[in-house]
Every structure is written in structure tokens, then in C-alpha cells.
Amino acid sequence: MDTLFLALRVVISLAAVLGLLWAIQKKVATKTGRGAKQAKHVTVVARQGISGKASVAVVDVEGVRYVLGVTEQSVSVIGSTVAPVDATVTAISAAPAAGSAFAAVLEQTPAPIAVQPDPEPVVLSPRRAARAAAATPVAASPIAGSILSASTWKQAAAAMRTQKRA
């Protein structure tokens, strides 16, 4: 009976400590602002590696785009410009014109001639056919080839035996 009360006290103490930690975490997260969604002030637009340890990045910081050279030791500003208002709108409006030009080119181009497959099947030599038939195992059960299969363990033991001999 004493062990039951001891176990109950341990469980209640653990629940109290975890509840206290959870309450403190919630209070600290809302106070620092990490709990609420914040707008991103810095956005990486693109990144291109130049070498193993150097790259170029385009970063948008509150409406200004910076081209940065990034290495292990430093970050240097290569150039800056005002960010475009909405790049997706211009790309979408230009897409139908490109699609219609592509359709016009497709209509002018003749269709390629279809290539017929070789009618004769490839005949394997008798030794190669026997080897191919032996190499394709037939699954006898749903667990064949898995770690639960006895044959898998037998193959592993045989491989270990050959490793020890060599």
C-alpha cells in the first residue's frame, strides 16, 4: 500500500512540475512575441553557390533588395535596388502571350515520324536464360526478403561465415 501512495505522489509531483514549466513557457513566449505571428522583415529571394565556401544571395529588406556576397568570414554588399512591387503579377500577365506563341510554333512544326519497335525479341543463350531465371526469386510468403524471414537470417549467417574464412 505504501508503494501505491509513493507512486501516486511521484506522478502528481511530475504533473505539477510539467504544468509549471508549460505555464512559464507560454508566458515567456507571448511576452517576447515569439508566440504571435510576426511579419518577416528580411526575406531571402534567391541564393546561388559560386564555390564550395562562397555564394551570392539576393535579400529583400523592407522593400529594398540587396545583392550580398557571402563567404565563411564575411558578408559584403555588392549592390542594392528598390524591390519590384509585385513580380508575380507581371509574370502572370506575360504568360498567356508566351503560351500562344508556343502554340503557333507547334502548329507550324510537322509531327515527328513514329519509330516502330524491333519486331524480333532478343533471344538469350541457354546459360544466360538459366542464370536469369535463378536470379529472380519467387516470393513464397509476404515476409520473404524482410528481416522477419528465416531465409534472410540464413543468408546473413552464410555471409558472416564467408567473411570469417576470408
pLDDT tens digits, residue range 95-144? 556 567 777 777 777 766 666 666 666 666 777 777 777 666 565 677 87
pLDDT tens digits, residue range 12-71? 999 999 999 999 998 888 776 655 555 668 888 899 988 888 999 999 988 889 999 999
How many domains would you assign to the chain?
1
Q: Please give the model's pTM, rounded to 2 decimal places.
A: 0.32
Residue 59: count other Cβ atoms within 10 Å of its Cβ: 20
- Cell numbers for 21: 514549466
Q: Does some domain include residue 52?
A: yes
Q: Does some domain include residue 112?
A: no
- Cell numbers for 1: 500500500
**What is the rounded CA–CA span in Å between residue 11 and residue 3?**
12
Q: Does some domain include residue 107?
A: no
Residue count of the chain, please give it.
166
Q: Does some domain include residue 35?
A: no
Q: Does some domain include residue 159?
A: no
Domain that holds residue 56: 42-82
Q: What was the pLDDT predicted at 58?
A: 92
Q: Does some domain include residue 54?
A: yes
Q: Does some domain include residue 100?
A: no
